[in-house]
């Protein structure tokens, strides 16, 4: 039987989800319900479109010259690729077999068996940690924090290059204690190459409205450049050599 993946959309010539120029494949379905999600249209597992592996690889190959020239490749994002682990594993393996750099962009909310299927075929993991306080993580995402931390450690122990991202969300993730906890956790991860603070934005609100969903953070405004600088400095106070960008 030919395994198919349920894909929300493809972004060609992407430049922010991994090194170089990339094709970003957004998987359909997500188990988290983040209050600030800018892609709530990826939550439902039955949305999107079925893709065969052969057809997806054909689409990926069209941009091979851009990957080769820029040090780019393919990023699996979402939604959450781990919810379709069998197809994600086959896609990552197929790209690796053709010498195409692979990145797994994930919430990390998966068990160790699923991670063990995906990590051997991943050249890079981009992990979005929503919050370092267990209760606040549940409030923000609807899911537990522990699987995410266990995944990060599994990535590092496996020697897979790791980028960690966190959204700087005023009133949620910008407190000094929260930023210090993030920095301390990152110091545990030997394969960490990059720590990114992404400023919260409101660009996805129209998607919530289109889906008939009440946006859950209506009064929060994006942080300023000064706010972002203060947060970065807070991280660097813990260790000035953290690879913060």
How does residue 3 score in pLDDT terms, banded at 50, 70 and 90?
confident
Domains of the chain: 4-238 (3.20.20.70)
185 has pLDDT over 90: yes
- Cα separation, 133 vs 175, whole angstroms: 11
pLDDT of residue 228: 97
54 pLDDT higher than 80? yes
Q: What is the pLDDT of residue 2?
A: 60
Whether 161 has a pLDDT exceeding 60, the answer reads: yes
Q: What is the pLDDT of residues 85-116, one digit of tens each?
A: 999 999 999 999 999 999 999 999 999 999 99
Query: Cα–chain-centroid distance for residue 83?
Result: 13
Query: Residue 34: is its pLDDT beyond 80?
Result: yes
Q: Do residues 118 and 89 touch, judged by C-beta distance below 8 A?
A: yes
Task: Decide: 168 and 223 in contact? Cβ < 8 Å.
Answer: yes
Going by C-alpha positions, the residue among 113, 38, 115 that lies closest to residue 79 is 38
The predicted-structure confidence for 192-244, as pLDDT tens digits, reads as follows 999 999 999 998 999 999 999 999 999 999 999 999 999 999 999 999 999 99
Tokens at 154, concatenated? 């599994």
**Residue 52 pairs with which residues in a beta bridge?**
4
- Is the predicted pLDDT of residue 1 greater than 70, yes or no? no
pTM of the model: 0.97
pLDDT at res. 232? 98
Measured in whole angstroms, how far is the alpha carbon of residue 118 from the centre of its chain? 14
């Amino acid at each position: 039987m030919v395994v198919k993946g349920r894909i929300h959309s493809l972004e060609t010539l992407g430049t922010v989800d991994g090194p170089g120029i990339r094709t970003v494949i957004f998987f359909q379905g997500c188990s988290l319900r983040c209050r600030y999600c800018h892609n709530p249209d990826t939550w439902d597992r039955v949305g999107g479109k079925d893709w065969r592996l052969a057809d997806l690889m054909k689409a990926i190959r069209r941009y091979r010259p851009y990957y080769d020239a820029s040090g780019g490749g393919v990023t699996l994002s979402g939604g959450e690729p781990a919810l379709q682990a069998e197809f994600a594993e086959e896609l990552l393996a197929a790209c690796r077999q053709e010498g195409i750099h692979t990145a797994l962009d994930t919430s990390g909310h998966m068990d160790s068996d699923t991670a063990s299927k995906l990590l051997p075929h991943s050249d890079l993991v981009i992990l979005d940690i929503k919050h370092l306080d267990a209760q606040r993580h549940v409030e923000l995402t609807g899911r537990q924090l522990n699987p995410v931390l266990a995944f990060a450690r599994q990535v590092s122990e496996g020697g897979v290059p790791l980028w960690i991202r966190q959204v700087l969300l005023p009133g949620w993730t910008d407190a000094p204690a929260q930023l210090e906890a993030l920095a301390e956790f990152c110091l545990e991860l030997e394969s960490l190459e990059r720590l990114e603070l992404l400023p919260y934005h409101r660009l996805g609100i129209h998607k919530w409205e289109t889906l008939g969903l009440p946006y859950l953070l209506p009064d929060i405004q994006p942080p300023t450049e000064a706010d972002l600088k203060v947060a970065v400095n807070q991280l660097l106070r813990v260790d000035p050599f953290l690879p913060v960008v």
